[in-house]
Amino acid sequence: MMTRRELQVAEEAARAGGAVAMRFFRKDPAVSTKETDGKVTAYNLVSEADVAAERAIVEVIRRAFPKHAVLGEELNGGDGTSEAVLTAGDLWVVDPIDGTNNYVHGVPHFGVSVAYYQGGEAVCGVMGNPPRDEWFLASRGEGATFAGERVRVNGNPRLEDALVAYGYYYDRGAMMEATLSAVRDLLLREIHGVRRMGAATLDLAYVALGHFGAYFEYELAPWDFAAGRLFVEEAGGRVTDGRGNPLPLARTSLVASNGLIHDAVLDIVAARHPATAPDA
């Protein structure tokens, strides 16, 4: 069971990671590519800032809870997503810079995410938008807050009146084609618009804040949504996988919404669900 201590540590860790990210931002940090699904692509980037920020986050967590497990995208993401790790009694899931492509190109839209899980269930989480010094906090059963105020998803019941965000994974084959087909289907419904912002953490935050009616993506890693899914749920929204099933803490598709337009978005997303998705 969570105490206020876990949420305080999550916020301290997220802010520490965000501070490191901002020290490197627009200062040409060293950048390399990393493996995706067994192959290296030229567009799945990692910077020295990602690694340094994650170390800062993990240091805060380890100092407070030395016996807790930590799953981070950069330090152990490659082999740290086993069932044993993801269902650990006390697990912290960390994304130091969500939106690295934005980051390395100097675009001030990227997030940091720190979440605490017990037995595979989200307990609390903190996300940040470091360039804007914006911080989003959520605790299971206690609501979601931004700038000290409780937040709620919007109350729009019509898909046609929604702004919908989406993303796509580094697969530029079948998964990208499926995503773009789903986007086309949404636009043919004459919705207000679609947005690809490039940071899942902030897409989820904006659903919770009511800016977006929904957000979908056909493949995300656990660290991409570990805190964000809780933030949406505690703001009154709904989060499932791309077929409407409960969201696992694993590589998965994801649909998040205000709840009122969830089924309408799911109809489109599920119809285009690619065979290459992790939950196909």
Q: Please choose, from the candidates 68, 52, 40, 42, the residue with its C-alpha nearest in 3D space to the C-alpha of residue 16.
A: 52
State the DSSP code for 247.
Answer: P
User: What distances in angstroms separate CA 271 from CA 68, 181, 217, 264, 267, one per listed residue?
Assistant: 40, 10, 13, 11, 6
The reply, when asked if residue 224 is annotated as ligand binding, is yes
Q: Is 171 marked within a binding site? A: no
Distance, in Å, from the CA atom of 203 to the CA atom of 22, rounded to the nearest integer, reads 20
* Annotated binding residue 185: no
Element (H, E) at 59: helix 48-64
CA distance 196 to 183: 10
Contact 226, 117 (CB under 8 A): yes
The DSSP result for 148-192, as a single string, is: TEE--------GGG-EEEE---S--SHHHHHHHHHHHHHHHTT-S
Residue with tokens 């009511």: 210
Residue 37 known to bind ligand: no
Token readout for 102 is 């934005």
97 in a known ligand binding site: yes
Q: Which tokens is 279 given?
A: 């939950």
Residues annotated within the binding site for Mg(2+) are: 73, 95, 97-98, 224
